[in-house]
Structure 1
């Protein structure tokens, strides 16, 4: 039997209880962010065979994350402005189809030029999905479940490390890296249909009048705490991705691990990342900035462990677990922090946050690639640890 069309979602408080259907919508949204981030990060897990298949260096292949990050950085802040009154559900579905096209082109790339085009297309879809997911999620549930809904929606980011990148790595090891990107293209198309089926129509949030209406992206950047938060996120994410983009060469060269154990270790990273996502979401609901500061300390300590003791297997495993736990909570904790600074402009602050976040991914991948080519992976690790320390210093000393 075909069910009745879902009601249009408004910006009001809604019923007192979140229904199973509403949680299903959150689950589909979480799967969408999972596929989005897996699509972006998969080159990390298949970096060496992908470089060999394309006939380019590992550093150049890592730059593909820079391309995606830059395009997403431009797309995410622009999405709320360009959408107007468009149904956010339809926008999310179309963006997933665009993402599928980018993955399909990556799968058939024969060299860097087509890879460049495919990653640009991927960035367009990613910017729209990631930029809207955290803003749409709290509107799908009751007010008391809003923070949990954001945690679930953004959990796709951590889950991409738990299952996405390791699974893609396993598929790449077994069937070739092209098969892994092809599988993501199929998954994105399926999720586009699922979004249309599970989400109700989602109109834009009515914007406030008067002084609150001045919260455009440009004006938001003039708010001191918003600017501070974005600088901190930029430093921390840049440091993380400078090192994490080249984690496979680190594990191959310094720890001496084979492809199978590397995939297992990436799974360890992801499992701890998923735990960190929900733990940080709960903590950030009470003390967002302190939570982000703690995560910065964890990321810096983990990278420093790998830099100093990467040749010792058990210390490497511990460092990877700590790294996953700390970084897994960053996206949701930072998201909660930023939206609380501009609650009436959730789409704009989310788009701005995602834009800065993904620009930092691009910068980190670029910086890491440059350092790898010039000085090797150990230099990358120590530089990234210093960047995380700088972020921690800002979080610990800056006052509201």
Structure 2
């Protein structure tokens, strides 16, 4: 049940992080700003999260990880409440900056917390349960928030998110045991993922694979509509297929990662590269579109649990430092991948963006292949 409370935390955090995507026009109109300016609600938390992970792991010292997670959960409640009553954009951005601390902190501390809750050999499976909250948020949380916003207003969506976050806080307060760290993480410990060959390979794989994924994923809907000629109803269905496949992929990855994490990472990179290169060269029809959504979703579901397990097993004595740097790597790769994909789409079109993304995933697969020599 303690692991389940972390999974609910992942669901609440990711739902809050991406909720503006579904309510952006409504918020922009209500606060009297352009949609481009309102997009800062999505950009700013990612920037803060990239910095927050390493900063919080050092600042927390030997504080009990239970207490740290509870503070982060309380901050998530406050962020959603402030967003729900925000009278202007500045107040909204303050709320979203608070969220950035929650995102960076949660994904830094939650993986290490599972080590206190389950035996070492069950940790990858426990992480798959926590990461399943991400898929559920993508499939259900964000669309539900958008639907509620269209029915009764965007402030209600943030209000409900605040309520969900409060329930998560109560559950964690009741279920999480004391989780003292083995030692405090010092600033110089953050260099160990960069100087340890196996951990460095995990970080490089993450940068190339996540950048490639988001260079393409940002334009998944236009890909299905324009290249495959699918109606909005069919596209919505395939997006649900993508999310459901990712949900199942997360559990499969959790089971396999405990046996051979490098093989899981290699499989994920090759599947992402293959499906993106397929999307770059083959177009037209619902069958091809469904194949892309199914394979891509399944492959991406493998990635977070594989990369987290890879980093933690590479730095067993400094897992918190490794996870903090990995969180930063994820955030940097997401931002750079989305930006790079946008530039390519604007100048060369969606197929070229898919091809570039596939090439980045192939580089990631090559890094994993080289990492087998480091075992």
TM-score bracket for this pair, using the shorter chain length: 0.7 to 0.9
Whole-Å separation in 2 of the counterparts to 1:46 and 1:382: 31
How many residues are matched?
372
Alignment of 1:202-351 (within 5 A): 202-206=179-183, 216-255=189-228, 257=230, 260-351=233-324
Structure 2 residue corresponding to 1:357, chosen from 325, 330, 338: 330
1:161–1:266 Cα contact (<8 Å) kept: no
What is aligned with 2:370?
Answer: 397
Q: Which 10-residue stretch deviates more, 82-91 or 103-112?
A: 103-112
How big is each residue's C-alpha offset from its partner over 1:87-116, in whole Å with a ceiling of 9 and x where there is no partner? 222221221232234344555668876554
- Name the CA distance, whole Å, in 2 between partners of 1:112 and 1:300: 39
Q: Secondary structure at the match of 2:319?
A: helix
- Structure 1 181/257 Cα, relative in aligned 2: closer, same or farther at 3 Å? farther
Q: Which has the higher helix share?
A: 2
Which of 115, 120, 144 does residue 138 from structure 1 map onto? Answer: 115
Alignment partners' CA distance in 2, 1:261 and 1:50? 27
Q: Is the counterpart of residue 41 in structure 1 residue 14 in structure 2?
A: no
Q: C-alpha offsets along residues 288-341 of structure 1, whole Å, 9 cap, x if unaligned?
A: 112111101112222333334454222112211111101111000111111111
SS at match of 1:344: coil
Q: TM-score, normalised by structure 1?
A: 0.81
Which ranges of structure 1 fall in alignment gaps of 5 or more residues? 1-23
Q: Equivalences for 1:194-209 in 2 at 5 Å?
A: 194-206=171-183
Unaligned runs of 5+ residues in structure 2 are: none
1:86-97 pair list within 5 angstroms: 86-97=63-74
SS at match of 2:318: helix
- Kept in 2, the 8 Å contact 1:300–1:389? The answer is yes
Instruction: Report if the CA contact (8 A) 2:62-2:184 is conserved.
Output: no
Q: 2:121 & 2:271 partners in 1: Cα distance?
A: 30
**Equivalent residue number for residue 61 of structure 2:** 84
Q: Relative to structure 2, which stretch is displaced further, 113-122 or 388-397?
A: 113-122
Over residues 165-201 of structure 1, what are the superposed CA-to-partner deviations in whole Å (9 max), with x where a residue is unaligned?
A: 3434544555565544443232112211221111122
User: Which deviates more from structure 2 when the two are superposed, residues 158-167 or residues 248-257?
Assistant: 248-257
Q: Distance in 2 between matches of 1:222 and 1:200?
A: 33
State the Cα RMSD in Å: 3.1
Query: Any conservation in 2 of the 1:62–1:365 contact (CA below 8 Å)?
Result: no
Alignment of 1:368-383 (within 5 A): 368-383=341-356
Return the alpha-carbon distance in structure 2 between the equivalents of residues 219 and 40 of structure 1.
Answer: 29
1:191 equivalent in alignment to 2:164: no
Of residues 215-224 and 303-312 in structure 1, the stretch that sits farther from structure 2 once superposed is 303-312
